[in-house]
Structure formats: C-alpha cells, structure tokens
Amino acid sequence: MTQNFFSNIELYYSDEKNFSGNYAKIDNDEYKHITKVMRHSLGDEVYLTNGNGKIYKGKVSNISNENLMVLITDILAFENRLKNIIFCIPKLKSPDRMRFALEKCTELGITNFIIFNADYSINKGSKLERWNKITLAAMKQALLSFIPKIELSGSLEKIINLNGKKICFEQTAEMRFNSSIISNADRTFFIFGPEGGLSKRELAMFNKNNIYNFAENRLRAETAIIKCACLL
C-alpha cells in the first residue's frame, strides 16, 4: 500500500487494544460514525489507525449492534519526524484559541504537548478530555497516524527541570528563530507565553541565548504557536 490513496479516504481511529491478529474492532463514536453517518456495510473498504504510526487498510467483515470488525489487508507504517519536539503551551484565555492552536499544530505534525499555568494565564482550568478529542479529530482530518500526547504541568518550573533543550519565545528577544538551530534528534521543548507574554520571573529562568522572536510585528499567542509548527 502506498500513500497514493491519501487524498480521498476517510480515516478512523481504534484503540490499540482492539487489534488482534488480522482483525480490528471499531466501537463507540467511531462505530456510530461509520454505520450511521458514512453508512458502511459488509465488504466495504475502510482505513483506520491505532495512533501508533500505522494506517491499516481493510474490509468490514462483521457488524453488530455495538461494534464492527475489520479484516486487515494491508499496512502502511510511518516515522514520527517530530517525536522529540514538545510544544509547551500556556492555558490561553479563550477556549477557541486553545482549540485552534492544538488543532493546527496537530495537523502540522506536532505530537507532544505540555499545557501549563503561566504567571499571566487567565484561564487556569484544565480540559484534558476536550483537548484530547480536538487533537484526535485533527489527526484523522490530516490523515496522520500518531495520536498526540497531552500532559499537564502546574508551572513552568516543572518544565524547566525536565531533561532536554529549552527554547523560549519572547517578542522583545534580539535573536530571530530559525529551525536550523535545532536537531529533530534532540529532545527540545518549545515554550510559549500566554496573551500577556511570559513574566520577567519566568524569562529569568532561561539562558538569553535560548530566547527568540518570530517577527517584528506582535503575534497573538496562538498565531506564534502555529507559526513555530510551520517552521519545523
């Protein structure tokens, strides 16, 4: 199986535990979408992923009242080019802006996120279930095969203490970011500020040689996050 089919397929998701031998089970919301919306029937060709880097081609072999079974006939495996890139996103004021940032970054191939409380974050609530649904839908929309992982962190300090290179973005930084300064082989944390930017206390945690800007004009928080994903 090659990537030639990618432009006109519908991609479904099923948890890895639902795969056994040459068969995969599809249940819950995906089952309802396949049978009620897409109206697939026995023998129809479908494509699915378990979010671990593979897309499976198969045929519907059985349909019950709660799930359906797919006989797998072909497999396409992928490499996660950005597996060592972690986007550290502060909780943004607007849920719509947070959704937009997560959705577009996922479509652009980012698969690791840490959501944290910045000093200037206004919205302190956590909506992990909703965020996971957003990134799952974006993965399927973009026909990707790696389901994003989202972690929560109470503060920037906890991220700073993790192993890996830290790159921070600040409008007033002297250096312009260029993707050539990083290697996808190195674990790298990209840290963004909320609508009010990172505080002086937070910026003091970084070596000044690791603080960059994107453009001369000021960008919204979600715009800066998405622009960074575009550059990688």
At 111-154, the pLDDT tens digits run 999 999 999 998 767 899 999 999 999 999 999 999 999 999 98
Question: Residue 185's pLDDT band (boundaries 50, 70, 90)?
Answer: confident
Q: Check if the beta carbon of residue 182 is closer than 8 Å to that of residue 87.
A: no
Q: Looking at domain 85-231, which CATH architecture does it have?
A: 3-Layer(aba) Sandwich (3.40)
> What confidence score (pLDDT) does residue 163 get?
95
Specify the CATH number of the domain 3-77.
2.40.240.20
**What does the alpha-carbon distance between residue 79 and residue 76 come to, in Å, rounded to a whole number?**
11
* Range(s) of the chain covered by CATH 2.40.240.20: 3-77
* Range(s) of the chain covered by CATH 3.40.1280.10: 85-231
Residues 6 or more apart whose Cβ sits within 8 Å of residue 158: 116
Report whether pLDDT(2) > 60.
Answer: no
> What confidence score (pLDDT) does residue 20 get?
95
Question: Residue 6's pLDDT band (boundaries 50, 70, 90)?
Answer: low
pTM beyond 0.95 = no
| 53-67, 126-140, 204-218: range with lowest mean pLDDT | 204-218
The predicted model gives 73-86 an average pLDDT of 95
> What confidence score (pLDDT) does residue 24 get?
97
Report whether pLDDT(161) > 60.
Answer: yes
| Closest-CA residue to 157 (of 118, 197, 186) | 118
